[in-house]
Chains A and B, each alone.
Chain A
Amino acid sequence: MTATMIKEFRLPDLGEGLTESEIVSWKVNVGDTVSLNQIIAEVETAKAVVELPSPFAGVVTALHEQPGTVVEVGKPIVSFEVEGDAGAQAAAGGAAEAPAAKREPNLVGYGAVVETTGRPARRPRNFAASPPVETAEARPAETDAPLVEPVEIKPAETRPLETKPAATVAGERPRSTPPVRKLAKDLGVDLEHVTGSGPGGLITRDDVRNFVGGGDLPAAAQELAGEAARTPEPVPSAQASEREVRTPIKGVRKFTAAAMVSSAFTAPHVTEFLTVDVTPAMELLARLKASKAFAGLKLTPLTLVAKAALIALRRNPTLNSRWDEANQEIVQFNYVNLGIAAATPRGLTVPNIKDADRMTLAELSTALTGLTETARAGKTSPAELSGGTISITNIGVFGIDAGTPILNPGEAAILAMGAVRKMPWEYQDQIALRQVMTLSLSFDHRLVDGEQGSRFLADVGALLADPGMALAMV
């Protein structure tokens, strides 16, 4: 019989509990003859891009969806003309052909149909030196010989243990329980500002309520609490003129606003924090300043952070890339135009140092000085403002430790350096007063995965914690 029929292939749930998938591309055209399991399409689910093998052998009669379309699970995506009696066609649609030997559901606990002669019988253990030779596990006779194997005792290998935890990763959310987090959310309280009184610093309901109601909390916390709880009062517009100043949005402010809005709402930001003991870097800085080679140059912590970032970028080039939405491409830069966020009288600008990756430390220092002076004088040229590939913002100069910087549009990462503070810190297994800095790295999660971002940040941290690491990384 060669009667043909039309079979539809409906989009299956390709993951566990997915409701839709996007057709990425068709690998066949209408009229093509396909074989069973031939790849017919590429489909992207929320979990993965997967290839769809054809459930039928036959001729493609229709492709129901265009590439780029998001299709609900269960909708027909392709139709085939198949021969009516093909044995392997039993698949989709449910009009299934019975398998050769139809089996009863075979389930544990209710006496499945026993098909073998029964349970394989156990045999008594044979302690004799030569066990019976089996066909299934034919044991060679030779192996009876070595009864005791001399064991060579080797000296214990000494593994270099990590002795100096130079850095700690911050960013764990405050400890609390889901109902307490819910309460805090309802009351508009940020748990970051609440001190927990429970075991191990656990934030309790009472802590949250006290925070909002004042209680006997420190003044700073009360102030924050007040802010959180306060709702802005509507101000009559008549009074507004006396109490407010209205300035037209234009110039750098307008540009900054547009750039920040566009960046914040197109690039999914992730920010990671790393607090590092930078005492060795600061000591190096002092030595370099004293050396003749750097005489007359302005060396600052920013110079070292910039250099560290440039070194770390070589190992983590993904951070130096761009999402090209229009062309649907990822641009990987083989050069680094290092942007430096600068506060100028006109507002925030991010001029960049071209080909900063090729510069020596002295050249980089000179470029940084020139860049900031030009920016402060308001003389930055448009060319210096465009073409950046990654940026650094120095919030430490304002005495700030950490933040969640927003990406300079078109760039994949921005590194914020915090203030260098003397803090009690673990040093050689003791508490010592060390110079500590927090690094905050935001990155575009479309381009950079947590792993790459984390590795980059860890590399920068490692270089500042131990500048000698540069020898290992370059």
Chain B
Amino acid sequence: MLTDEVGQGGTTASGPGNNAGHRGGASQNLVQLITPQGERVSHPEYDPWVRDISDEQLGSLYEDMVVIRRIDTEATALQRQGELALWPPLLGQEASQIGSARTLREDDFVFSSYRDNGVAYCRGVDLTDIVRVWRGNASSGWDPYTVNMAVPQIIIGAQTLHATGYAMGIQNDGADSVAFTYFGDGATSEGDVNEAMVFAASFQAPVVFFCQNNHWAISEPVRLQSHVHIADRPAGFGIPSMRVDGNDVLAVMAATRVALDRARRGGGPTFIEAVTYRMGPHTTADDPTRYRDANELEDWAAKDPIRRVKALLDRKGLLTEEFEAAVQRKADAVAREMRAGCTGMPDPEPLDIFKHVYSTPNSWLDRQQDHYSRYLASFGAPTGAESEEGGYSSYVASSGDPEDADSEEGAR
């Protein structure tokens, strides 16, 4: 298939965001429907895609953004309190995550990165499961098939390949679901993402590449990675793209609908660059003041995604005290539930690690497990509480060796 055909009406692809024909790096305009001051501005191409959004729905988008910001600050606090080993804050990216995730259908499948915890919230992932891995209690937090969202990928950009593969599966099934993958600006420099785009374009797979350009790949500014807008890169793959204000929940939603619609109708992949900003550190183990200009942070604080929706609601006269209080109650309740789930999480037993290697019995692994359980047993009987709950009491309790009492501490 010729590149020209994609996005220029050669296929059923249509509508806004048809920029595959752009060549020579001509920059696309940033799509914005709500200004940073909270003014609703019209856009002839994108307005129709969000015309159905009612005041109540706008309010609920606002609530979701407030809630995920609360989840984020609570998780950051939990890390500082020693309850989580690490947390990658999403502060500033609420509109990108809510605007896109709220637009997905239940049968679409999400392949995300580690910062997309707001997306996980929208997919219905249990609050405790969101922090399970970050507490170090499990290798993965949830069963992907219960919520149609894969567990977050830590390897940068690898999830785009998984999404493309899944999308090709959807094609084979003849379904109209979409694989939706989240990644960052840094990931676009990875081979995986580029390979995924080649395959997605070649097979016209129903996959949406959703890039949250938060301007920083850890300490690497986006301008060092790409001399053109990120959204100008997909044209080289024959993938139509859109560049939207990632701090504008409506613009993100409109663009996501355009992309989903194209994919559902067999029009192939779409790339969305949501231009946003990582207001916090890369993770709780990072100090952005070492590499980032404070002025830049200030500039982006003025474009806050939540504040602008709040201002819009206020303009519409929807920002009542009761509404605000209800949103706050919801956010606090979610934070409370997550904290309780996190701190009340039972620690995994040492032998649990063997449960999650193979799905069927494996003699090598059985032997290793046997060795390890006998090693554990050499430290003496565990305390009553542990053996009660663990389910491995038979391994450990059988050889309580009182002479080994000294080394008990070392085992814990």
Name A's B-contacting residues (CB within 8 A).
9-16, 37, 47-55, 87-88, 90-92, 96-100, 102-103, 105-112, 114-116, 119-127, 131, 134, 136-140, 142-143, 146-149, 151, 153-157, 159, 449, 451
Task: Tell whether, in the assembled complex, residue A88 and residue B336 are in contact, meaning their CB atoms are under 8 Å apart.
Answer: yes
The reply on B298 being an interface residue by CB < 8 A is no
Which residues of chain A are near B146, meaning CB under 8 Å? Answer: 112, 114-116, 119
Which residues of chain A are near B175, meaning CB under 8 Å? Answer: 122-125
Task: Tell whether, in the assembled complex, residue B49 and residue A143 are in contact, meaning their CB atoms are under 8 Å apart.
Answer: yes
Q: Which residue of A lies closest to B348 (CB)?
A: A105
Task: Tell whether, in the assembled complex, residue B344 and residue A90 are in contact, meaning their CB atoms are under 8 Å apart.
Answer: yes
Segment at the interface with A among B133-141, B195-203, B304-312: B133-141
The reply on B181 being an interface residue by CB < 8 A is no
A112 CA / B170 CA spacing, docked (Å): 24
Asked whether A14 and B284 contact (CB < 8 A) given A106-B129, A108-B144, A122-B170, the answer is yes
User: Which of B21, B73, B339, B359 contacts A91 (CB under 8 A)?
Assistant: B339
Segment at the interface with A among B112-120, B260-268, B401-409: B260-268
The reply on B80 being an interface residue by CB < 8 A is yes
Count class of interface residues, chain B:
35 or more
Task: Tell whether, in the assembled complex, residue B287 and residue A37 are in contact, meaning their CB atoms are under 8 Å apart.
Answer: no
A151 CA / B137 CA spacing, docked (Å): 52
Task: Tell whether, in the assembled complex, residue B264 and residue A116 are in contact, meaning their CB atoms are under 8 Å apart.
Answer: no
Task: Tell whether, in the assembled complex, residue A14 and residue B80 are in contact, meaning their CB atoms are under 8 Å apart.
Answer: yes
Q: Which residue of A lies closest to B171 (CB)?
A: A125
Other A-B pairs, 6, CB within 8 Å; known A53-B81, A97-B340: A37-B74, A52-B81, A96-B344, A110-B355, A137-B257, A139-B257
A109 CA / B281 CA spacing, docked (Å): 33
Which residues of chain A are near B45, meaning CB under 8 Å? Answer: 146
A236 CA / B221 CA spacing, docked (Å): 62
Segment at the interface with A among B9-17, B184-192, B243-251: B9-17
A-B contact pairs, 20 of them (CB 8 A): A12-B79, A12-B80, A13-B85, A14-B80, A16-B285, A50-B284, A53-B77, A53-B81, A87-B340, A91-B339, A92-B81, A96-B344, A105-B346, A108-B144, A115-B146, A116-B124, A120-B107, A125-B175, A139-B49, A157-B24
User: Which of B21, B22, B103, B355 contacts A107 (CB under 8 A)?
Assistant: B355
Q: Which residue of A lies closest to B108 (CB)?
A: A120
Q: Min CB distance, B105 to chain A, in Å?
A: 5
The reply on B399 being an interface residue by CB < 8 A is no
Asked whether A10 and B264 contact (CB < 8 A) given A16-B285, A449-B290, the answer is no
Q: Which residue of B lies closest to A44 (CB)?
A: B287
Task: Tell whether, in the assembled complex, residue A136 and residue B106 are in contact, meaning their CB atoms are under 8 Å apart.
Answer: yes
The reply on B52 being an interface residue by CB < 8 A is yes
Q: Min CB distance, A129 to chain B, in Å?
A: 9
Which residues of chain B are near A139, meaning CB under 8 Å? Answer: 49, 257, 261
A364 CA / B265 CA spacing, docked (Å): 73
Q: Min CB distance, A103 to chain B, in Å?
A: 6
User: Which of A96, A109, A146 contacts B14 (CB under 8 A)?
Assistant: A146
The reply on B86 being an interface residue by CB < 8 A is yes
* Interface pairs A-B: 3 shortest CB-CB: A12-B82, A156-B24, A48-B287
Task: Tell whether, in the assembled complex, residue B286 and residue A114 are in contact, meaning their CB atoms are under 8 Å apart.
Answer: no
Q: Which residue of A lies closest to B18 (CB)?
A: A149
Q: Min CB distance, A446 to chain B, in Å?
A: 13
Name B's A-contacting residues (CB within 8 A).
7-9, 12, 14-16, 18-19, 21-27, 45, 48-49, 51-52, 73-74, 77, 79-83, 85-86, 103-107, 124, 126, 128-129, 132, 137-148, 151, 170, 173-177, 227, 257, 260-261, 264-266, 281, 283-287, 289-291, 336-337, 339-341, 343-346, 348, 352, 355-356, 359
Which residues of chain B are near A114, meaning CB under 8 Å? Answer: 143, 146
Q: Is the interface of A mostly helix, strand, loop or mixed?
A: loop
Q: Min CB distance, A163 to chain B, in Å?
A: 15
Which residues of chain A are near B21, meaning CB under 8 Å? Answer: 151, 153
Q: Min CB distance, B301 to chain A, in Å?
A: 18
A140 CA / B258 CA spacing, docked (Å): 11
Task: Tell whether, in the assembled complex, residue A47 and residue B287 are in contact, meaning their CB atoms are under 8 Å apart.
Answer: yes
Which residues of chain A are near B284, meaning CB under 8 Å? Answer: 14-15, 50
Which residues of chain B are near A107, meaning CB under 8 Å? Answer: 138-140, 355-356
User: Which of B24, B107, B339 contacts A155 (CB under 8 A)?
Assistant: B24
Q: Min CB distance, A98 to chain B, in Å?
A: 5
A50 CA / B89 CA spacing, docked (Å): 14
Which residues of chain B are near A37, meaning CB under 8 Å? Answer: 73-74, 77
Asked whether A98 and B142 contact (CB < 8 A) given A47-B285, A122-B173, A137-B105, the answer is no
Q: Which residue of B lies closest to A50 (CB)?
A: B80
A111 CA / B24 CA spacing, docked (Å): 50
A13 CA / B23 CA spacing, docked (Å): 50
Task: Tell whether, in the assembled complex, residue A108 and residue B143 are in contact, meaning their CB atoms are under 8 Å apart.
Answer: yes
Which residues of chain B are near A97, meaning CB under 8 Å? Answer: 340, 343-344
Task: Tell whether, in the assembled complex, residue B143 and residue A55 are in contact, meaning their CB atoms are under 8 Å apart.
Answer: no
A263 CA / B122 CA spacing, docked (Å): 57
Which residues of chain B are near A134, meaning CB under 8 Å? Answer: 105
Task: Tell whether, in the assembled complex, residue B145 and residue A119 are in contact, meaning their CB atoms are under 8 Å apart.
Answer: yes
Asked whether A106 and B138 contact (CB < 8 A) given A115-B146, A137-B260, the answer is yes
A37 CA / B83 CA spacing, docked (Å): 13
Which residues of chain A are near B336, meaning CB under 8 Å? Answer: 87-88
Candidate in B7, B81, B128, B355 with the most chain A CB atoms within 10 angstroms: B81
Task: Tell whether, in the assembled complex, residue B344 and residue A102 are in contact, meaning their CB atoms are under 8 Å apart.
Answer: yes
User: Which of A47, A88, A103, A153 contacts B128 (CB under 8 A)?
Assistant: A103
Task: Tell whether, in the assembled complex, residue A142 and residue B51 are in contact, meaning their CB atoms are under 8 Å apart.
Answer: yes
Q: Min CB distance, A62 to chain B, in Å?
A: 18
A136 CA / B170 CA spacing, docked (Å): 20
Task: Tell whether, in the assembled complex, residue A123 and residue B177 are in contact, meaning their CB atoms are under 8 Å apart.
Answer: yes
Task: Tell whether, in the assembled complex, residue B23 and residue A156 are in contact, meaning their CB atoms are under 8 Å apart.
Answer: yes
A116 CA / B40 CA spacing, docked (Å): 38
Candidate in B18, B265, B286, B339 with the most chain A CB atoms within 10 angstroms: B339
User: Which of A52, A111, A157 contacts B26 (CB under 8 A)?
Assistant: A157
